[in-house]
């Protein structure tokens, strides 16, 4: 044996390594205790009215507290832009979306009086609806303050410009949608401003994330009605409950899923499926964790002006704001107003102030942050189709301050000036988004950077553009959050 070892030292070494490997594997099998898989959420279901209903909600037309005022004209050119604008090539693949990025858990509290949670609500136009900007803000703030849940999301896919960075939302083809912006019957819309409707069984809406979110309750806003259908709810693929939405009268209800095993649980996937015949009407799905952390709720409407806030039924809007109870409300409007050449600036001021007063009436202690619109540009209408296919070279925008074919709408500056005046009058926190862009031809210059920060339409941003925007906006938002955390409003709101 010793002679063989001397003549074949490498073969002996190899045999020893192999023997040690198999011995280790066998030992691990015999001695190791297998890891218990993470248990899926287990909840109890509660169905209740969202607030004290009134007799005319949602069957009859609402009775207004004040006489309706004419709405600010919308820019039809910009309203259609999300459908006509080609996909921005610089938007990242799914692996770079905020939902894929690691979030840290809530850091330990420094003192017992520290607030339990922070809730932020942002209402805005397409910049908000896409949830790229708000998704990055959510990710960064939850790293700092903890996971307060994914927040409020529209049910299904009501518009190509409405999405969530927290969950990937998919819906089967059998769903149809109603939008507050196109409806005169405003009494049937909740805060999301959209309703998803299915009339047959087997239709599904799913919310999926690669990273689990904490929750102490999941809420589904729905409508109970005559000939209503039934929905089946699953969390992480596990059946939770079956809810019958048939009733003698039309009645808004909130379906709440509450953790059974502990104060909070975690969820990666929510699936809602219709069963049998009957009408199912869903408005939103929300994932909340009021125990701790921060929740950043994004409610956006492509093509909207600030007057979308005034279009809501007043009683529903007030009750929805009180239910969500944000300590901070961010208003991010102005792009569509600025692209409206027929804008009447005085009517615009009145409309914005009405929206502020409605929010303050519902949430008198809430801090309101006003975000003025970024720079934007449009080409001459006769060249619009040509410019969609071919982007002007970067040098065209840099010669003697000439922006080439892309011109900044005159009313954008007027809108910012008016917003700043309103912010001072109402003591709001004000941030001018355009201030982080070049003073001349800002949108066009950012569209020609490498990588581009603004999309080819010179209105929307690329993902990198929204990330840089979020980094700058946080410099304004973080001091506001810190002031709120030190106040008693945080505790009283929850």
Q: What is the per-residue pLDDT across 376-422, written as a single tens digit (0 to 9) for each?
A: 999 877 555 555 555 544 444 444 346 778 989 999 999 999 999 99
- pLDDT recorded at residue 20: 56
- pLDDT recorded at residue 126: 95
pTM here is: 0.78
Q: Are 460 and 127 contacting, i.e. CB atoms less than 8 angstroms apart?
A: yes
pLDDT band at 74 (very low <50, low <70, confident <90, very high): very low
Q: What is the per-residue pLDDT across 315-370, written as a single tens digit (0 to 9) for each?
A: 999 999 999 999 999 999 999 999 999 999 999 999 999 999 999 999 999 999 99
Q: Which of 381, 401, 374, 376 is nearest to 456 (CA)?
A: 376
Q: Which of 340, 393, 387, 301 is nearest to 86 (CA)?
A: 387
Listed in sequence order, the residues at least 6 apart from 155 whose beta carbon sits closer than 8 Å to its beta carbon are: 192, 194, 195, 196, 205, 220, 221, 272, 282, 283, 284, 285
Sign of the torsion angle spanned by Cα atoms 451, 457, 458, 461: negative
- Of 3.30.300.280, 3.90.1210.10, 3.40.50.1110, 3.90.76.10, the CATH number of 43-60+72-493 is 3.40.50.1110
Residue extents of the structural domains in the chain: 43-60+72-493
Q: Which of 307, 303, 312 is nearest to 335 (CA)?
A: 303
Q: Are 282 and 199 contacting, i.e. CB atoms less than 8 angstroms apart?
A: no
Tell me the CB-side half-sphere exposure of residue 194, using CA atoms within 13 A.
23
Q: DSSP E strands: which ranges in 28-167?
A: 43-48, 118-124, 151-154
**Residue 196: beta bridge partners?**
177, 282
Q: Are 349 and 388 contacting, i.e. CB atoms less than 8 angstroms apart?
A: no
Output the DSSP codes for 7-35. H-HHHHHHHHHHHHHHHHHHHHHHHPPPP
Which helix (H) or strand (E) is 178 found in, with range?
strand 176-179
Q: What is the per-residue pLDDT across 275-311, written as a single tens digit (0 to 9) for each?
A: 999 999 999 999 999 888 999 999 999 999 999 999 9
Q: Are 228 and 244 contacting, i.e. CB atoms less than 8 angstroms apart?
A: yes
More reliable by pLDDT, 187 or 430 = 430
Q: For residue 85, report the phi and psi dihedrals to the nearest 5 degrees.
A: -75, 125
Task: Give the rounded percent of residues in the chain with a pLDDT score beyond 90.
Answer: 64
Cα angle: 373, vertex 455, 91; to 5 degrees:
115
Task: Map 437-479 to HEC letters.
Answer: CCCCCHHHHHHCCCCCCECCCCCCECHHHHHHHHHHHHHHHHH
């Amino acid at each position: 044996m010793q002679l063989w070892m001397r003549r074949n030292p490498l073969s002996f070494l190899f045999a020893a390594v192999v023997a040690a490997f198999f011995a280790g594997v066998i030992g691990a099998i015999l001695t190791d205790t297998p890891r218990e898989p993470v248990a899926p959420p287990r909840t109890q279901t509660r169905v209740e009215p969202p607030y004290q209903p009134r007799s005319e909600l949602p069957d009859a037309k609402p009775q207004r507290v004040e006489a309706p005022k004419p709405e600010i004209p919308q820019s039809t050119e910009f309203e259609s832009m999300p459908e006509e604008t080609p996909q921005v090539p610089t938007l990242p693949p799914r692996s770079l979306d905020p939902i894929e990025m690691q979030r840290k858990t809530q850091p330990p509290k420094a003192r017992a009086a520290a607030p339990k949670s922070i809730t932020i609500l942002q209402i805005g136009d397409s910049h908000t609806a896409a949830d790229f900007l708000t998704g990055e803000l959510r990710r960064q703030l939850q790293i700092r303050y903890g996971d307060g849940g994914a927040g409020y999301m529209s049910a299904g896919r009501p518009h190509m410009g409405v999405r969530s960075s927290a969950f990937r939302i998919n819906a089967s083809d059998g769903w149809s949608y109603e939008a507050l912006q196109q409806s005169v019957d405003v009494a049937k819309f909740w805060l999301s401003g959209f309703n998803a409707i299915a009339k047959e069984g087997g239709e599904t809406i799913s919310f999926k994330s690669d990273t689990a979110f904490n929750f102490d309750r999941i809420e589904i806003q729905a409508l109970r009605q005559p000939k209503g259908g039934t929905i089946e709810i699953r969390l992480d693929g596990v059946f939770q409950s079956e809810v019958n939405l048939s009733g003698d009268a039309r009645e808004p209800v909130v379906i709440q899923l509450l953790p059974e095993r502990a104060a909070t649980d975690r969820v990666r996937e929510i699936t809602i499926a219709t069963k049998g015949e009957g009408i199912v009407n869903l408005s939103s799905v929300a994932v909340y964790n009021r125990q701790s952390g921060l929740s950043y709720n994004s409610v956006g409407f492509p093509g909207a002006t600030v007057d979308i806030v005034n279009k809501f039924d007043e009683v529903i809007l007030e009750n929805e704001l009180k239910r969500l109870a944000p300590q901070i409300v961010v208003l991010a409007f102005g792009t569509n107003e600025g692209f409206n050449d027929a804008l009447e600036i005085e009517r615009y001021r009145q409309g914005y102030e009405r929206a502020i007063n409605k929010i303050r009436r519902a949430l008198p202690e809430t801090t309101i942050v006003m975000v003025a619109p970024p720079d934007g540009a449009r080409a001459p209408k006769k060249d619009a189709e040509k410019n969609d296919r071919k982007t002007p070279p970067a040098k065209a925008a840099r010669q003697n301050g000439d922006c080439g074919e892309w011109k900044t709408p005159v009313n954008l500056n007027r809108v910012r000036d008016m917003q700043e005046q309103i912010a001072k009058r109402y003591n709001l926190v004000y941030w001018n988004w355009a201030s982080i862009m070049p003073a001349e031809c800002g949108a066009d210059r950012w569209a020609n950077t490498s990588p581009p920060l603004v999309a080819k339409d010179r209105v929307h941003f690329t993902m990198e553009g929204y990330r840089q925007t979020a980094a700058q906006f946080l410099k304004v938002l973080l001091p506001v959050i810190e002031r709120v955390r030190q106040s008693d409003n945080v505790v009283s709101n929850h």
